[in-house]
């Protein structure tokens, strides 16, 4: 039985995604969130270890200096900003 395909991601390649599913990363993330339980941008509980410099833009995956705790909503809006940043130079969508 073939699994149903998810919608294709047109704007982002899923190259590094599998690294987030390793045992090593989950274990690291759990430890990190225990030490850093509060979101760096608001005061909600952090649920995500975010890469300050995104891995796909050249950030180091395992560099602890490149990690910060974020809640899901801050992480989503940060990812959105990063996606925008790549096209901001070519297109102006504010006019
Ligand atoms: Zn937050």
Distance separating alpha carbons of residues 79 and 95, to the nearest angstrom: 23
User: Looking at residue 85, what is its pLDDT?
Assistant: 64
User: Looking at residue 16, what is its pLDDT?
Assistant: 55
Ligand 1 mean position, distance from CA 52 (Å): 14
Q: What's the predicted TM-score (pTM) here?
A: 0.68
Q: How far is CA 85 from CA 3, 24, 38, 60, 91, in A?
A: 34, 30, 26, 19, 10
Ligand 1 mean position, distance from CA 3 (Å): 34
Ligand 1 mean position, distance from CA 31 (Å): 19
Reduced to 3 states, what is the DSSP secondary structure of residue 70? strand
Domains parsed from the chain with CATH numbers:
17-87 (1.10.30)
Which residues have C-beta under 5 Å from ligand 1, the single-atom ion?
Answer: 39, 41-42, 44, 71, 74
pLDDT along the chain (95 residues), means of 10: 60 63 94 98 97 93 96 93 63 50
């Amino acid at each position: 039985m073939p699994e149903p395909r998810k919608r294709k991601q047109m704007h982002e390649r899923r190259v590094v995604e599998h690294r987030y599913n390793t045992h090593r990363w989950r274990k690291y993330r759990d430890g990190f969130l225990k030490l850093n339980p509060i979101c760096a941008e608001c005061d909600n509980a952090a649920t995500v270890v975010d890469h300050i410099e995104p891995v796909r833009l050249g950030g180091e995956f395992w560099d602890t200096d490149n990690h910060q705790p974020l809640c899901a909503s801050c992480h989503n809006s940060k990812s959105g900003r990063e996606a925008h940043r790549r096209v901001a130079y070519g297109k102006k969508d504010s006019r």
